[in-house]
Amino acid sequence: MAPLKKIICKTKDELAVELAKYTANLSSKFCKERGIFTVVLSGGDLISWLWKLLEPPYIDSIEWSKWHIFWVDERVCGWDDADSNYKLAYDGFLSKVPILAENIYAIDKGLGAEGNAELAAERYEECLKQKVNENIIRTYKSSGFPQFDLQLLGMGPDGHMASLFPGHDQINVKVKWVTFITDSPKPPPKRITFTLPVINCASYNVMAVCDKEQADAVEAALSHTKDVPAGRLTADVEVVWFLDQAAASKLKGWCSIL
């Protein structure tokens, strides 16, 4: 089981500063080691905390052309739909950095727009397998599961992560890499999502959570008082929870590290 770290920041701006530092260091590590950096994004507030990467020194120092972008989950809708995690990431981040368009792997445009969740999940899994065959994505030891370098996750107030929700069966899917849900408790109802084994094969997993509304779920996930999906998060090398003080306020013995 990988070590779990907590970085508790006084403000969201401080969290953005620490998240940028962490991400840039891993970018430098993987770009040096293999000339590729595979990054998995989620939706929600996460994109709004990447803004520090859009400023010097990172905007100039990061080797953006070596980044490959994937999504841990995505709403089954058009790319230009207000619900789209691709649109959220493109508008707030990807359109502001020189990542190559061919290195951004979104949900199948047509299947998303059609709302075909099952086929969109199958097609995304095929896309990942293609990138494994091309050695863009590594595989985790003998499991054959894809191993991403850095996965940037968020959590909902019910403790869901990606589109793995409490009381829903997707968290128990063990063989597939990508599954789907059509009755998501968090709208919109139709989504595709990485399965738990794929999420946990990542080398570095970040969980970024802010605001007091999340404090109960943070406590449940980190103390395992309740079996919430985010409590099942692990990684191959390291898991880091980036929290603001409000989200960390129900953790026993927390102290502001920053």
Ligand X SMILES: O=C(O)[C@H](O)[C@@H](O)[C@H](O)[C@H](O)COP(=O)(O)O
Interface residues with ligand X (CB under 6 A) are 42-46, 73, 85, 154-156, 161-163, 186
DSSP characters over 156-205 = -TT--BTTB-TT-GGGG--S-SEEEESS-SSSSS-EEEE-HHHHHH-SEE
Residue 36 or 220 with smaller CB distance to ligand X: 220
Of residues 45 and 118, the one with the C-beta less far from ligand X: 45
Per DSSP, what are the bridge partners of residue 191?
A: 75, 181
Instruction: Quote the least distance from Cβ 173 to ligand X, whole Å.
Output: 16
Compute the distance between CA of residue 187 and CA of residue 81 in angstroms, rounded to an integer: 13
Q: Which two tokens stand for residue 24?
A: 């840039």
Closest to ligand X by CB, 211 vs 236, is: 211
Give the Cα separation of 85 and 139 in Å (integer). 25
d(CA 43, CA 162): 8
Give the whole-angstrom CA distance, residue 25 versus residue 62: 9
CB of 135 to ligand X, least distance (A): 27
**DSSP per-residue string spanning 83-113:** T-HHHHHHHHTGGGS---GGGB-PSPHHHHH
Residues paired with residue 67 on neighbouring β-strands, in sequence order: 37
Task: Closer to ligand X by CB, 20 or 46: give it.
Answer: 46
Beta carbon of residue 112, minimum distance to ligand X (angstroms, whole number): 13
CB 11, min distance to ligand X, A: 16
**Toward ligand X, which CB reaches closer, 99 or 218?**
218
- To ligand X, the closest distance from the beta carbon of 111 in angstroms equals 17
Least Å distance, CB 140 to ligand X, is 22
The tokens describing 43, both together, are: 């939706």
Nearer to ligand X, 112 or 154 (CB): 154
Query: Smaller CB distance to ligand X: residue 146 or 154?
Result: 154
Q: Minimal distance in Å, beta carbon 193 to ligand X?
A: 8
Which residues, at least 6 apart from 31, have a Cβ–Cβ distance to it below 8 Å? 37, 63, 66
DSSP state of 155: B
Write down the residue that tokens 């445009």 correspond to.
109
Residue with the shortest CB distance to ligand X: 44
